[in-house]
């Protein structure tokens, strides 16, 4: 089956999962920012009234401080989904005030290790989790430690905002540099990324496919860095035969951004397309909006349209 046919099938599935309020949820009727943003990104080239309704739904959830909560009815406090919302509005609305406000919030959001007390604690008392607290990124929710995926998405959002001209914030370059350093610091010893740290309690953690892929997307442009090359090789090794369409799709998005770096990346990407197509045909693990949207975005990336890729 051709990629365009598979993508069209996924788009139809997204339409069927869309709520009457415009957004998407996690296999429930409750709308959430993450699946709504991913759904909009997957359908962004087909600007029907339903897509516009979804966009207005996401825009309507923005807090006055520029952030986004996780879902409707959730605590109004801003969280990591702000990065996805900013990415979505950049891809669909371009330069606007909501993007500027979201970017400003991301610049002010920091993992708690940025606080002097927590930095001292991690350096002097709590050494069970091994990382450099001077290198911090973004957390899932305010007041918690930096994690890999929120940091990676925030870096992608800030780098795209910078590329689109939202560089009037003097701290933007510094935050990108520090977040990048945090990702390198939290790598697993043999390459790739786990959810939070590469080591804890003296144990070496194994990398996750989705965390590794999203981190590599955030680090596009650092291809000459040996740690990026090691992590790319790790992703190539782990991706073949992956039974999860969600993880497989994120791996494809990363390999599409690095396909010209190694022959192995290009070959693995080709095999992954066939594996994903087979899983979609069987309907294996493609019941939720996030997975359906990420699969569609991965197939777009194979065709040269990678919404998460930043080179400038």
pLDDT tens digits, residue range 66-111? 999 988 766 778 999 999 999 999 999 877 899 999 999 999 998 7
What confidence score (pLDDT) does residue 149 get? 97
Total count of residues recorded for the chain:
312
Confidence of residue 134 (pLDDT cuts 50, 70, 90): confident
Share of the chain above pLDDT 70, in %: 89
104: tokens are: 């400003």
What confidence score (pLDDT) does residue 122 get? 55
pLDDT at 297 over 50: yes
Q: What is the mean pLDDT of the chain?
A: 89
How confident is the model over 4-41, as pLDDT tens digits?
999 999 999 999 999 998 999 987 667 899 999 999 99
- Sequence ranges of the domains in the chain: 3-302
What confidence score (pLDDT) does residue 26 get? 86
Whether the Cβ atoms of residue 181 and residue 213 lie closer than 8 Å to each other: no
**Architecture of 3-302 per CATH?**
Alpha/alpha barrel (1.50)
What confidence score (pLDDT) does residue 237 get? 95
What confidence score (pLDDT) does residue 79 get? 94
Largest CA distance in the chain: 57
Whether the Cβ atoms of residue 31 and residue 66 lie closer than 8 Å to each other: no
pLDDT at 119 over 60: no
What confidence score (pLDDT) does residue 81 get? 97
What confidence score (pLDDT) does residue 117 get? 45
Confidence of residue 310 (pLDDT cuts 50, 70, 90): confident
What confidence score (pLDDT) does residue 124 get? 55
Distance (Å, rounded) from C-alpha 170 to C-alpha 54?
Answer: 33
How confident is the model over 159-202, as pLDDT tens digits?
999 888 876 788 899 999 999 999 999 999 999 999 887 666 66
């Amino acid at each position: 089956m051709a990629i365009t046919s598979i993508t069209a099938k996924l788009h139809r599935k997204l339409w069927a999962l869309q709520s009457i309020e415009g957004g998407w949820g996690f296999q429930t009727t409750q709308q959430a920012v993450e699946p709504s943003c991913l759904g909009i990104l997957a359908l962004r080239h087909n600007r029907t009234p339903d897509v516009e309704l979804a966009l207005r739904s996401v825009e309507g959830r923005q807090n006055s401080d520029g952030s986004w909560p996780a879902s409707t009815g959730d605590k109004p406090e801003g969280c990591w989904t702000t990065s996805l919302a900013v990415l979505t509005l950049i891809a669909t609305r371009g330069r606007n005030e909501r993007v500027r406000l979201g970017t400003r919030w991301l610049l002010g959001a920091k993992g708690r290790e940025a606080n002097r007390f927590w930095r001292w604690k991690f350096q002097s008392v709590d050494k069970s989790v091994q990382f450099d607290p001077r290198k911090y990124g973004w957390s899932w929710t305010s007041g918690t430690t930096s994690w890999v995926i929120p940091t990676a998405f925030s870096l992608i959002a800030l780098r795209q905002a910078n590329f689109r001209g939202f560089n009037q914030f003097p701290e933007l370059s510094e935050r990108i540099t520090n977040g990048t350093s945090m990702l390198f610091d939290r790598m697993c010893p043999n390459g790739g990324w786990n959810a939070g740290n590469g080591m804890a309690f003296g144990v070496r953690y194994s990398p996750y496919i989705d965390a590794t892929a999203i981190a590599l997307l955030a680090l596009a442009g650092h291809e000459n860095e040996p740690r990026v090359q090691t992590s790319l090789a790790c992703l190539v090794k782990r991706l073949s035969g992956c039974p999860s369409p969600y993880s497989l799709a994120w791996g494809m998005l990363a390999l599409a951004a690095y396909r010209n770096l190694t022959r192995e990346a290009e070959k693995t990407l080709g095999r992954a397309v066939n594996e994903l197509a087979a899983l979609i045909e069987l309907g294996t693990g493609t019941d939720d909006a996030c997975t359906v949207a990420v699969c569609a975005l991965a197939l777009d990336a194979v065709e040269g349209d990678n919404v998460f890729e930043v080179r400038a």
